[in-house]
Amino acid sequence: MNIAAAAGTQASGSARKGDAGAWLAVAAGIIGSFMATLDISIVNAALPTIQGEVGASGTEGTWISTAYLVAEIVMIPLTGWFVRTLGLRNFLLVCALMFTAFSVVCGLSSTLTMMIIGRVGQGLAGGALIPTALTIVATRLPPAQQTTGTALFGMTVIMGPVLGPLLGGWLTENVSWHYAFFINVPICAGLVALLLLGLPHEKANWPGLLDADWLGIYGLAAGLGGLTVVLEEGQRERWFESSEINLLSLLSLTGFIALLVGQFRKRAPVIRLSLLLQRSFGAVFVMVMAVGMILFGVMYMIPQFLAMIAGYNTEQAGYVLLLAGLPTLLLMPMMPKLLDTVDVRILVIVGLCCFAAACFVNLWLSADTVGTHFVAGQLLQGCGLAFAMMALNQAAISSVPAELAGDASGLFNAGRNLGGSVGLALISTFQERRMSFHTEMIGSAVTANSPRAQEYLHGLTAQLQSSGGGEAALQAGARLGRLVQQQALVMTYGDLFWIFGVIVVCTIPLAFLLKPLPKGTHLAMH
């Protein structure tokens, strides 16, 4: 099936332009995906405040973020099946109303349990809003305008996580953390209006519920849910030394086995994993996982580094992260033309090279590093997101038949979020290990018998004594210890940027597996 015919029929009957209803539908999809991606990170800035108000410890508080991500990753691949069963408009209306209701639950939360229930509900609804945006672009717009729709969608995926910490930090500092959730209410009201105006009503296929691939549905929920929690909590629980991690790993394994069995038992499995075996789409999936690792990993590392080394607050760090959105805003108007005229493989390679360069320019961190040091890396990352993410969106849409667009979109977006979980797990694991390594290496060179250490301690002790400090020798030793820890932390972050850069470089050859798209028919799916 050629998507030109499908999109032309559904959008406007014209092969050239989509009608107002089609663009209203696209606007609804873009707003929904932006809201869902924004809420991945908007609570990060407010997390310390929220933890105090709901009575959660630091470890327990991480579940406020993890609960959303786990629920979202589980829902994203299920979206295609829900759309086929309930109809696109019905399903999105339910999700928009759910997202609103659970956002209010989060905003009113006074206990950790209530907050986690709200975040799970938000994640389930938000997970559906992300892939359906790309599905609307693929099915409601004609080929000549799909590149514009793809570029707009790509921008929301990029800007949502980037703006989240800044918006959350600003609301927490100037209004209240509750409004990080209440802000969704008016946006959802507008989303519902756009859905009613832009999407036609489709009859639900209720008998399809009885004949559903329930084994596959269980497999997706258990497999992806268990794997995400293992990746998020593994290092904190000492990996397989923990009975909880062992149990979740077993649950994840049985889930993936059930998902594979469902592929052969049902003519219409809940999601078609066979798409991953296609050369072009399989390459897209791996590369978008790498993009997700950079997107979520670097967004986590920079604020942490600036807070611990430079003493930045969350709002100040948010402005540094915001720099990555500037190239996207500048490049977005050019992307449709570039996608139509430049080989998609070239755009992907350029984007991935920008990602690698963004990591490598941050290798030379020091204890004097401040936000301005990250400007070049953030601008390079913004260029990488603009080129790679939008080109990979294009390649994902174009590499599968139109009737499988929902499955492809679900896998694409699940791959990005799963990559984010893998990236955060790598940071957690390597940060602890490299921190210990560098502390030992520096400590072995700065012993009590080291001439340079003795010189530093004597000078610092004399300085403290002259300023009237009591127990100057002990204070000098403690200050030296903090200095060693600080230098070890700086070197650890340099190692992490190097690891992420190497991972991106290793995925660049996969771009050559993508299918070149014929000029003028980039969005045709055969």
Going 356 to 361 to 367 to 370, the CA torsion angle's sign is negative
Q: Which pLDDT belongs to residue 445?
A: 62
* 8-state DSSP, 306: I
Residue 365's pLDDT is what? 83
Q: pLDDT digits over 328-356, tens only?
A: 778 877 877 887 788 888 999 999 999 99
Q: Where are the beta strands (DSSP E) in 223-333?
A: none
Q: Tell which residue, 380, 498, 387, has the closest CA to residue 155.
A: 387
Q: What is the dihedral of CA 99, 103, 104, 109, to 10 degrees?
A: 140
Q: How many whole angstroms separate alpha carbon 282 and alpha carbon 300?
A: 27
Name residues of the chain where pLDDT drops below 50: 1-15, 518, 521-526
Residues in Cβ contact with 99 at an 8 Å cutoff, skipping those fewer than 6 apart: 35, 36, 121, 122, 125, 126, 129, 184, 188
pTM score over 0.85: no
Q: Distance between CA 362 and CA 357 in Å, rounded?
A: 9
pLDDT value, residue 230? 83
CATH number of the domain at 275-526, please?
Answer: 1.20.1250.20
Phi, psi of 29 (to 5 degrees): -60, -40
- In the three-class reduction of DSSP (H, G, I as helix; E, B as strand; rest coil), residue 15 is classed as coil
pLDDT of residue 15: 45
Alpha carbons 502 and 343: distance in angstroms, whole number: 24
What's the pLDDT score for residue 429?
Answer: 79
* Residues with Cβ within 8 Å of residue 497, at least 6 apart in sequence: 301, 359, 360, 362, 363, 365
pLDDT of residue 353: 94
* Residue 48 CB partners (closer than 8 Å, separation 6+): 61
pLDDT of residue 10: 41
pLDDT value for 3: 35
In this predicted structure, what is the pLDDT of residue 4?
36
CATH number of 1-211: 1.20.1250.20
The pLDDT score that the predictor gives to residue 401 is 73
